[in-house]
Amino acid sequence: MLEPKLADKIHIYTGRTDTFFLEGAVKLLKQEMESLHAKCVIELFPGNHFTVLTQQLRDRIDREMAAQFKAAHQNGGAS
């Protein structure tokens, strides 16, 4: 089964007004993942793909990646 292999490994961040109109597909994906109770992060922020990656979001992503790396290596292997 694919679900356990992908749990907590999908992280999507996009703007609500993406100039390539990707936000519609991301909204649908988010709804589908929520209906499946999938363990993933899908967030839409104000702005477009040029304004989404603020320093605050960048710092948050860094912290989350570091925590995942640390957890994986404390348990004796990559997840």
Return the CA Rg of the chain: 14
Mean pLDDT, rounded, for 1-16 = 89
**What pLDDT sits at residue 75?**
66
Q: How many CB atoms lie within 10 A of CB 38?
A: 16
Taking each continuous run of H as one helix and of E as one strand, the counts in the chain are: 3, 2
pLDDT tens for residues 26-66?
Answer: 999 999 999 999 999 999 999 988 899 999 999 999 999 99
pLDDT at 72: 86
